[in-house]
Amino acid sequence: MRMGGRYSHLNGEEYLLVHQQQLWEEVQGVIAEVDAFSCKTKISREKTMMGKRLYSPEAMNEAFKRGFKSLGWEQRRNTFWVTDDERLLRGIYGLSEQEQKAAIEAAGHTPIMSYNQTDFVKDRVAVEVQFGKYAFVAHDLFVKHLSFYVSDIIDVGIEILPMKDLEKEMSSGVPYYERDLLNVIRQGRGVPAVPLVLIGVLP
């Protein structure tokens, strides 16, 4: 595959170029190694595309997974505790997992364990590969990457999406780079408050 578009939010790409050049090259290398045409294995059952051969999200995800894992990128989970008291949550967010739970219990509330999980993390850089439903991208950008950044686990997040020309040859409901680029820039320069690189990919 190849990069068809990329956008640096809050100097995400610039950070990589200065501080994590090797990891940035690894990400680009993984993209280049994915053979998209070998992933064109899904036969559509949708009325508007009945019988058409489409790119399979599962096959492309698996190809990216093999590439990143071979270079030591690993899935990472960030666990935290929540409750229904807004003021209490504001006061404990920066605490450790154990301290959050203890503070909630000390205040007489019931702690609820929750977590965010990201596809690949290595040396404080996170990568999400998103060929699923379009709603998942907002969760990646405004929840996952931000949560890992605020929790001091990463310094920058990378989101890999299909370009529109690729999305047109996939099932309906898949995200595409051009739309999510707009979703980011219309929030203003500081939202989400995490350095990011959006990458749009093509076969």
Instruction: Locate the domains of the chain by residue range.
Output: 2-76+118-202
d(Cα 145, Cα 125) in Å, to the nearest integer?
10
When the pLDDT of each residue in the chain is averaged and rounded to a whole number, the result is 93
**pLDDT per position as a tens digit, 5-20:** 999 999 999 999 999 9
Task: Kindly report whether the global pTM for this prediction surpasses the value 0.85.
Answer: yes
Q: Are 5 and 200 in contact (CB under 8 A)?
A: yes
d(Cα 18, Cα 8) in Å, to the nearest integer?
14
- HEC string of 53-97 equals EECCHHHHHHHHHHHHHHCCCEEEEEEEEECCCHHHHHHHCCCCH
Residue (of 102, 136, 97, 91) closest to 114 by Cα position: 97
**pLDDT per position as a tens digit, 31-79:** 999 999 999 998 888 777 788 889 999 999 999 999 999 999 999 998 9
d(Cα 195, Cα 17) in Å, to the nearest integer?
13
Average pLDDT, integer, range 83-109: 92
- List Cβ neighbours of 93 (8 Å cut-off, separation of 6 or more): 80, 100, 150
Element (H, E) at 2: strand 2-9
CA distances from 10 to 94, 95, 176 (A): 22, 25, 21
User: Using omega within 30 degrees of 0 as the cis cutoff, is the peptide bond preceding 192 cis?
Assistant: yes
Residue 159: predicted pLDDT: 97
- Number of residues that make up the chain: 203
**CATH class entry, domain 2-76+118-202:** alpha beta
